[in-house]
Each structure stands twice: as structure tokens, then as C-alpha cells.
Structure 1
């Protein structure tokens, strides 16, 4: 397991960058077409600048960890002013009741010992247990974002503090 590589910041879209309800007028409504289907998303363009600053200030690499997969690079990132980001291939599907999120296995395989922060709205103790017990997972911070309001300044500050802390 290597921890010499840059830390990662893993980004979900729905519930994190696209909250379930419009929490404030800062969020603009956008229409996205994915595989011929129209979706409406609520995005706050300031999130892009905040995430870029988080990555630059901490030396972290931003990565999509969302069922939007590559569509996040074409439909979400440009609206937030984010560059093209690496994508963790996750398989959309139902998780096991009381088990880890369906994305947790692919995340564990992707990180390969690199420290990471994961912003998601569906994380539970089962995800923490799975990641803690996985041999290729090093240090991590799970940030459970409130899907009603989406990513907050407090969530970003928590990630910044954790990424800035010395690593073992």
C-alpha cells in the first residue's frame, strides 16, 4: 500500500452537488440530457471554485464517484467550472440492506492506499466498516452530505482540515 501519491477527493453528484431541493437562490436549475433522457439538476457554481481551491490548497486530486460517471464530465463539471476529472466506474444498482453502498467496492479498488475524502449523501457505518477492513484502503474521511442542502462550507472545511493534517 502506498501513501506517497496525492490524496483524493471523491465527488458524488446527486444529493451532494445537486441537492434534492433548492436550498437557496445560489442554486441554478440546469437541464441535462443523458442517454436521451432529460434531467433537471440544481447546481451552485461556487462549488466548482471551492472544490478547485480545496484540491489546490491540499495537493489533492478531484475524482468523480457518481452514477453519472463520464456524464459528470460533460454535464456537471463544465457548469461548475471544473476541469475534466478521472471517473471511478461504479455500477448503479440496489445495495444490500444494511450493507455498504454499491459504490464502496469500486471506491476501495480505485484508491489503492491513497488517502481520500469521500463526499456522498448515502454513506453509513457499513461503508466505513467495509473500507476499514479492505486491504488496499489507507486513511480516509467519509463526509456524509445532507442531501436536502447539498455540499456545505462546513463539509469542505472538514475535508480541508483532514487533508491538511499530517499523515501516518
Structure 2
């Protein structure tokens, strides 16, 4: 989670971002963009948005973090296809990955999501990294993703 519910530290600044024409106050840490780019570079991973913000993430959040325009998984297209207790983004992500290994950072994923993804025929190896909604993404999350992505 790149925008926690509260400011977790001084490196996080307030930014007004717009989604679907509405302004929102987000807590963002500009250092996360370079960290994500370094993770992708070191592991050969592709960065992709899987967010409620959808395409607005490229226009509103990406520039603050120094990210280039990234592909967007239109998470609302799979809404209603998820299993009981699953995050509504799961079906669209499962469809997008096309059996490629992936790491997914999110604050709203748990056991039901893992089980649903494990059973989906379009999903191969994956790692869900739970990000606390009040603390946001941390260095340990990046290390965990790097270790998994390079473990083959």
C-alpha cells in the first residue's frame, strides 16, 4: 500500500491526488518510486497498477513517486467473480497474470485470496505481501519481494 490511512513517518508527505474527478488527500513517500523501479530492474519484474485508482494512478500518483506510466489492471472488470471473503480485485489480477509469477503488495489480501488464486487455472507461482493499512509499504516488504522473485 503506497498510501496508508495515516502518516506513518516524516518521509511521507501529504499530496492531493484526483481519481474519477474527485480530489483525495494521500500520504505518499517519494522514495518508493525509485525502490519499486530498482526492484523491477534487479529481478526482471514488470510493475503494474492493481488499484481502485485504475488509470488515474498513472496521472495522479505515479508522477509524485517518479514512476513512468505503467500498465493498469482494470480491477473493476472482475467484480462479482471473486469467492467468499476474497478481495474484489482478485479475478482481474488472476486474468492479467496469465500464469506468470508475481508479487502483489496490498493491504486487503488474506487467506481466502491466496486459496482462490491457488485454485485458479490462470495463476502460477505468486507471493502476496500484506501491507498494513496504517503503516504503508516498508523496506522489509521490498526485501521480501526481492528474495521471493530471485528464488526462482
* Higher normalized contact order (CA 8 Å, seq sep 6+, divided by chain length): 1
Provide the aligned length of Structure 1 versus Structure 2: 151
Q: Deviations over 1:6-42 (max 9, x none)?
A: xxxxxxxxxx100011010101101112233111011
Which residue pairs with 1:44 in the alignment? 29
Give the one of 47, 51, 68 matched to 1:62: 47
Which residue pairs with 2:119 in the alignment? 133
Pick the structure with more helix per residue: 2
Which residue pairs with 1:118 in the alignment? 104
- Which structure 2 residues correspond to residues 1-168 of structure 1 after superposition, within 5 A? 16-91=1-76, 98-166=84-152
Aligned equivalents of 2:137, 2:95: Cα separation in 1: 25
Q: Is the 8 A contact 2:11 2:29 kept in 1?
A: yes
Q: Is the 8 A contact 1:19 1:149 kept in 2?
A: yes
Aligned equivalents of 1:150, 1:130: Cα separation in 2: 25
Aligned equivalents of 1:62, 1:21: Cα separation in 2: 25
In the TM superposition, what is the alpha-carbon distance from 1:91 to its structure 2 partner?
1.3
Q: Is the 8 A contact 2:105 2:131 kept in 1?
A: yes
Unaligned segments of structure 2, at least 5 residues: none
Normalising to structure 1: TM-score of the pair? 0.85
RMSD between superposed Cα atoms in Å:
1.7
In the TM superposition, what is the alpha-carbon distance from 1:55 to its structure 2 partner?
0.2
* C-alpha spacing 1:19/1:95, structure 2 compared with 1 (3 Å): farther
